[in-house]
Each structure stands twice: as C-alpha cells, then as structure tokens.
Amino acid sequence: MNLIVALPGEPLPKEYFDVRFEVLRKPLGSPRGSELLNDDDKAIHAYISLTPALSEGEGAEKIIAVGRIALIAGDGSVKDPVGSNCPAFEPLSSSSSDLRPAVQIRQMGTLPEFQGKGFAAKILFALEETAKQHWNARTGWLQARLNAIPFYEKCGWTSYGEEYDVNKVGAHSSMWKKLRERNTQ
C-alpha cells in the first residue's frame, strides 16, 4: 500500500480522477468531467494505491481511494459541477479568527471492494495533517452524505445544524473538526 499526498499544483494521475468519477459521480448519473473541480490545482490531494501483488496481479499500481482538502476563503458555499449547490458553513460567515485558516474536505471516495478496510481514514488523517503543516489550518469543514456520517464521527468530526438536500446528490449534514488550537503567543 502506498499513501501519496500531492500539494497544490502537483500533478495527479488520471486514475485518481477515475476513482472520483466511479465512486462519486457515476452512481448519480453524472457525465465524465463532473469529477473535476475548478480549484483542484489549489487543493491538497491524497490517494492510496496498491502494489500489483495486492491488486490481484495487475501490471501497474491501482488507485483505490482518494480525497482532497482546500482552503476556504469565504463561507464554504460552492456550486458543484453536477449543478448542485452546497450551502455555507454558517460559523465561517462571521470573521472569527479562531476558526481560520479553515479547510474543506471534499471528494472522498473508495472503490466499493476496498471500503471498510481503513483506507479512507488514512487519507483523511493525511489530509488533515498536511493542511495543518502547509496552511496552519485550525478547523476542518465538510458536507457529508448521510451514509458517511458514522465514518467521519469515528475520525473525530462533529455534525451540526439540520440535514439538508444537495440537489442531484441527496441528503447531507455539515460537519466540522478542530484541527489545532489558536496560538496564544
């Protein structure tokens, strides 16, 4: 197993985006290309690949799980490529410096045959740690599909607010996590 973290602007293999499409977009009936986000070049990405011996003898490494994290400049509301709107993270609407720099987890996905084996948790923790090191991130934010909430809770994330529907995707809950304390110097 290889865990790869790519900083903003570093190239990503085509297979990284293939996993995002297969896990997150294809099941919604979304077209190819919807797995690409406008700010992917500004995000930190992480993915896990398996060596040929672990991926049933295939000739090359196989990417099985992916995720990304990016700085949140405003309140975190975005229009997704599939035409859905993700709402703002209300606590970020104020100018509280205790929450910033703030980062957002998006596009977490693991191929179905590899789910439940801890790969997504490794990616999530790598993204959190890299965002703390690279951006000095204090808080993390995400919009979780309802079936993913137990996973995020096990990883220390907390739901807040009411459930809401993301058009063309389904029911979600906003979540957050304190990544580091504010410096008191």
Q: Domains along the chain?
A: 2-178 (3.40.630.30)
3-state secondary structure of 86: strand
Q: What percent of the chain clears pLDDT 70, i.e. is strictly above it?
A: 88
User: Residue 6 is encoded by which pair of tokens?
Assistant: 């790519």
**Helices (DSSP H) in the chain: which residue ranges?**
14-20, 119-135, 149-154
> What pLDDT, on the 0 to 100 scale, is given for residue 80?
65
Question: Residue 82: which pLDDT band, with cuts at 50, 70 and 90?
Answer: low
| Tens digit of each residue's pLDDT (9 = 90 or more) over 102-147 | 999 999 999 999 999 999 999 999 999 999 999 999 999 999 999 9
| Tens digit of each residue's pLDDT (9 = 90 or more) over 9-33 | 999 999 999 999 999 999 999 999 9
Whether the predicted pLDDT of 60 surpasses 80: no
